[in-house]
Each structure stands twice: as structure tokens, then as C-alpha cells.
Amino acid sequence: MLSPTAIAIIWAVGLCIIGGLMTPRADWYARLVKPSWQPPGWAFGPAWTIILGLAAWSGVIAWEAAASDAARLDVLILFGVNGVFHLLWSPLFFKFQRPDWALGEVVFLWASLVAMVAGLWPISQDAALLILPYLAWVSFAAFLNLTIVRLNPRPQAAQT
């Protein structure tokens, strides 16, 4: 059986790899109008690696601090739900080229992080605090997503 640390590493690395594979940078993205304050493209990989590494560490701490099987199940559910919403954003934005759909989805990703902080707090405050950089980054990314949607309105359907 895999250790909690191994599972947390697989979760974090899996999210990084799958998220990266679902983030094709096409000419479409290069043509988008983006705000001047958007971080350079090279910064996203290291940022996600650090953030998901902290989240994995949070998962290990929470798992080990959980006082019961029910609490451990809560940890799994929180991280599982977050993983699903984490993986949905990139294909919506990049593959389907729909920043507007991604903006709708990021609300659920953000809510999953708030749920993680709230759900982990009674188990381990340290574990909950390690999620805060992830929450801050997704909050920033949501504002960036919103700005891109505003700067790049989709063409209206032709009037007949």
C-alpha cells in the first residue's frame, strides 16, 4: 500500500502534468489581449509546482492528524473534489478557447479551496494554512481570467 506521502506526491505531480498537457499554447492565446500585469508565461509552471507541493504537504499533514476514518475520508473528498475542478479549467480556457466558460468554472475551483481551508481547519490548522497560497493564486488567476474575458469579448452572432 502506498504511503500518504506517496499518494500526495502522485496527486500533485499528476495535477501538474495533466494540467500542463491540457494547456496547449496556440496562436489563439498569443492573439488575446492580456493585461500588462499578467505574469510572464514561464512563471506559471514554477508557481503551480510550489502551490501544489504545499497542497500535497497539507494533505499529508491532514491525513496524519485525522482522528478517525471519517476525518480521513473528508480529507480525500476535499482533495478529490479540488482535483476535479483544478483539471477542468485548462481545457475550458485553452483547448476549447473559452475564457468565459473557464471564468464560470473557476468559481467552483475557488469554492473547493475555501471548502478545503474550512474542512481542514478542525483537523489541522497547519494543513489548512498551507492551502492559502493556492487560494490566493486561484483568486489572482480568476481576476486575470475575468480581465481577459473583458478585454476579448466574443463576437456576437450575426443578426438575421
Residue with cell 474575458: 149
What is residue 42's predicted lDDT score, i.e. its pLDDT? 87
Nearest to 20 by CA among 94, 104, 130, 120: 94
Give the sign of the dihedral formed by CA 128, CA 132, CA 16, CA 142: positive
- Structural domains in the chain? 4-151 (1.20.1260.100)
CB within 8 A of 10, min separation 6: which ones?
A: 2
Angle at Cα 48 formed by Cα 45 and Cα 49, nearest 5°? 80
**Alpha carbons 90 and 116: distance in angstroms, whole number:** 21
What is residue 155's predicted lDDT score, i.e. its pLDDT? 57
Nearest to 44 by CA among 78, 6, 89, 92: 89
Here the cell at position 62 is: 491532514
Judge whether 131 and 120 are in contact, CB under 8 Å.
yes
Here the cell at position 121 is: 481547519
pTM for the complete prediction? Answer: 0.89
What is residue 61's predicted lDDT score, i.e. its pLDDT? 97
Residues 105-127 as b/e (b if ≥16 CB within 10 A, e otherwise) read bbeebbebbeebbebbeebbeeb
What is residue 157's predicted lDDT score, i.e. its pLDDT? 45
**H or E segment to which residue 101 belongs:** helix 99-120
What is residue 158's predicted lDDT score, i.e. its pLDDT? 42
Output the tens digit of pLDDT for each of the chain's 160 residues.
788 888 888 888 888 888 777 776 678 888 999 999 999 988 988 998 899 999 999 999 999 999 999 999 999 999 999 999 999 999 899 888 999 999 999 999 999 999 999 999 999 999 999 999 999 999 999 999 999 999 998 754 444 4
